Structure formats: C-alpha cells, structure tokens
C-alpha cells in the first residue's frame, strides 16, 4: 500500500505538468518566468496546429488560440534578424512571434547579443491603450527556439518590427 501511495504522489506533479504538452505535440519554444510561471509554444507533431500556453505548474491560465486547427497558424506572425561578425560587428540574433488576443498584443522574444554575450527571453504584452508589460523569462530554462518556425513552412515571415 505504501508503494502505491508513493507512486501516486510522484504521478500527480507529472500529470499536472504534462498539461503543457499533449502526447501528439512537441515544444517549439518554452521557458519559465522570473515569477515561476511557464510559457510554452507548442505544435502538433504533424503541424495540424500551433498553440501558446501560459500559467503556473498547476493551471494553464491562457491558451491561444482556443481551437486547435490548421487555421491557428494564420494567427501568429513571425520575424527575425541575424547579424554575424561577433563583438567587432555588434553581432546579434533576434526572433519575435506575435499574436493578438482580445485586443491585447503578445510578442514572444528571444535575443542574443555578442557584445557582453547576453541572452534574453520573454513576453511583451501591449494593452489596447499601448501600455507595455514585460514578462522576463529565465534564460536558463529556455527549451527550443522560435527560429525553428522557419523550418515548418507553416508560418509566414512578416515585417512586424523587432523587439526584445
């Protein structure tokens, strides 16, 4: 009986955490925030849909889009910039993914700057009045890369500007 109880205790966190990734999905990009929340951008392994998820380990607070269909790809906008040459050329790499939900603009970002060897990740949320809120990601927890979206051929590259 004691063994079953311990197994049950082990499976509870695994079950709760697994809601961020369904069996038919893979992570495109994810990270934990400085406040202990988690952002996951996932896609169906067969590219049937893409979905953003955000919340705590115990509860997904937001999923976008609500419906997991092929049309979901059209609701995201991607842009990137790469400049090589290392420190002497102020080398950098910036990836942005943007979507709008209920009048709020969400921008997921990942950046690298050769000067100072700095990396950053996060979310910029812009409300209907233009006020920005930044959610900073813990770069040590980053999995995947927004840049992998180019390989899917499912998302259109658009000039949405660059932010980080």
Is residue 13 within 8 Å of residue 6, measured between CB atoms?
A: no
Give the domain ranges of the chain: 26-155
- Per-residue tens of pLDDT for the chain, all 164 residues: 544 443 344 444 444 444 678 999 999 999 999 999 999 999 999 999 999 999 998 899 999 999 999 999 999 999 988 888 888 888 889 999 999 999 999 999 999 988 999 999 999 999 999 999 999 999 999 999 998 888 778 887 777 666 66
The terminus-to-terminus CA distance of the chain in angstroms comes to 52
As a whole number of Å, the CA-based R_g of the chain is: 17
Picking from 94, 92, 84, the residue whose alpha carbon sits closest to that of residue 145 is 94
Domain 26-155 has CATH 3.30.1490: no
């Amino acid at each position: 009986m004691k063994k079953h109880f311990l197994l049950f205790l082990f499976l509870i966190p695994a079950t709760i955490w697994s809601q961020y990734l369904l069996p038919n999905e893979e992570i495109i990009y994810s990270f934990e925030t400085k406040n202990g929340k988690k952002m996951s951008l996932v896609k169906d392994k067969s590219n049937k849909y893409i979905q953003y998820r955000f919340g705590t380990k115990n509860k997904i607070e937001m999923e976008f889009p609500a419906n997991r269909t092929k049309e979901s790809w059209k609701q995201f906008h991607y842009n990137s910039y790469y400049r090589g040459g290392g420190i002497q050329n102020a080398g950098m790499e910036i990836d942005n993914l943007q979507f709008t939900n209920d009048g709020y603009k969400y921008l997921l970002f990942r950046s690298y700057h050769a000067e100072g060897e700095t990396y950053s990740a996060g979310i910029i949320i812009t409300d209907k009045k233009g006020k920005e809120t930044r959610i900073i990601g813990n770069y040590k927890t980053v999995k995947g890369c927004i840049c992998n979206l180019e390989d899917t051929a499912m998302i259109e590259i658009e000039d949405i500007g660059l932010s980080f």
